[in-house]
Structure 1
Amino acid sequence: MTTSGAASGPDGAEPVRRPCFVLASASPRRLDLLRQIGLAPDRVLPADLDETPARAEQPRPYVRRMAAEKAAAVAASLTEPALVLGADTVVALGRRILPKAEDRETARACLELLSGRRHTVLTALSVIPSSGWPEGRRAERIVETAVTFSRMTPHQIEALLDQGDWQGKAGGYALQGHAAAFIRFISGSASAVIGLPLFETAQLLRGQPGHWLA
């Protein structure tokens, strides 16, 4: 479903302009999740930012900052009427932000830390209108989900790493991947752990002028 165009206002009022809907993320998982609820973006424009946490930065301020900076960077590059959605997900063990696993050693270290323990997945959303759509509203949300892994043996961790679906994933695992066989408990939004909390995303978009979702 395309979101650009115009929606009729109440009682025959002037239609509300519906801007271009832009996803500020290269994540195929976020794109698939948006399509799942009928909100395929008109454009996908990943933000090119340094995602290194600041010194002593805590998980919640970090994930909020990253989502906002991604959306703001893309919104600032657009002059057309547009609404930009930025998102960021981190896996936190207490106050510690676990890295995105870009190599097997990092993924192994993350899984060893998570084995048999409860951790938190934080996903932040930020929607920012471009200067070409002054009717739009800035909004943000942070969704927190608790996840508990069963205890894994070294052999099980190595077998999990062999599957390869840890690559590029925060904390070295994907909920929708082979790691699901070791997740004993989850409380909160499963889609947020995958990369985008669908209920909260829909709520933010329903709060914008125009008809975004039924």
Structure 2
Amino acid sequence: MSTTLILASQSPRRKELLEQLGYHFTCLPADIDESVLAQENPEQYVSRLAIEKARVIAKQYDESVVVLGSDTSVVFGTHILGKPASLDECIAILSMLSGQTHQVITAVAVVKGERTEVFVVRTEVDFKVLTEQEISRYWHTGEPQDKAGAYGIQGVAGQFVKQIRGSYSAVVGLPLYETSQLLSLFGVHSSITKD
């Protein structure tokens, strides 16, 4: 009997990455409060959100269903950088990242019944120096609006990235190696790892 897998996300990027691994799954977005709690560090924040997303969906099903939740934050110093709501916010965020190294922290959680496992992947990203004109033109592509840290590495903003240390797919939104390892702990295998 095959296990039902649900991705607790409406992110097209996470969906593509999970499909790339050869999993069969359904997508259901989890509606949760994504506010940062007082005294919460970035790893605690993304871990809590990934777990909450998976649990909200898992509660709607019986214990045979496996739910995968994930959350990604862009972090500069102690700042968790959210999605920009305006051009001014986009300029403020990307000016902060310009010519600097920042971290992208992605948590992946899997929930099945009462069992929950979570892990965190941290990737360092080096940005080139950006002009305000480049940032403004980038905003008008429409790409940064729904992206944590105001950029998507897999899109136009890939040209801003000098190098990364860590998982590229985690920066996009779902670390491939760690996700497949975690799902296998729950008996969920992709079409290529099945016996």
Both proteins in one fold, TM over 0.5 = yes
Show the counterpart of 2:112. Answer: 129
On the 8 A contact 1:31/1:40 being kept in 2, the answer is no
**Structure 2 unaligned spans of 5+:** none
Is 1:207 aligned to 2:188, yes or no? Answer: no
Show the counterpart of 1:194. Answer: 172
Structure of greater relative contact order (alpha carbons < 8 Å, 6+ residues apart): 2
The amino acid of 1:124's aligned partner reads A
On the 8 A contact 2:90/2:135 being kept in 1, the answer is no
- Identity within the alignment, %: 42
On the 8 A contact 1:84/1:130 being kept in 2, the answer is no
TM superposition score normalised by structure 2: 0.93
**Structure 1 unaligned spans of 5+:** 1-5, 7-17, 132-136
Show the counterpart of 1:168. Answer: 146
Q: Cα distance, 1:47 vs. partner?
A: 1.0
Rounded to whole Å, the distance in 1 between the matches of 2:188 and 2:131 is 52
Show the counterpart of 1:48. Answer: 31
On the 8 A contact 1:58/1:96 being kept in 2, the answer is no
Is 1:106 aligned to 2:89, yes or no? Answer: yes
Q: Cα distance, 1:116 vs. partner?
A: 0.6
* Deviation readout 1:18-74 (Å, 9 max, x if unpaired): 321001111111001111111131x21111111010123211110111101111111
The match for 1:32 among 16, 29, 38 is 16
On the 8 A contact 2:67/2:111 being kept in 1, the answer is yes
Return the index of the structure with the highest Cα Rg. 1
Q: How does 1:70-109 map to 2 (within 5 A)?
A: 70-79=53-62, 81-109=64-92
TM superposition score normalised by structure 1: 0.85
Rounded to whole Å, the distance in 2 between the matches of 1:210 and 1:44 is 16
Q: Cα distance, 1:130 vs. partner?
A: 3.3
Rounded to whole Å, the distance in 2 between the matches of 1:168 and 1:141 is 24
Show the counterpart of 1:3. Answer: none
CA RMSD of aligned residues (A): 1.5
Q: Cα distance, 1:145 vs. partner?
A: 0.3
Q: Cα distance, 1:174 vs. partner?
A: 0.2
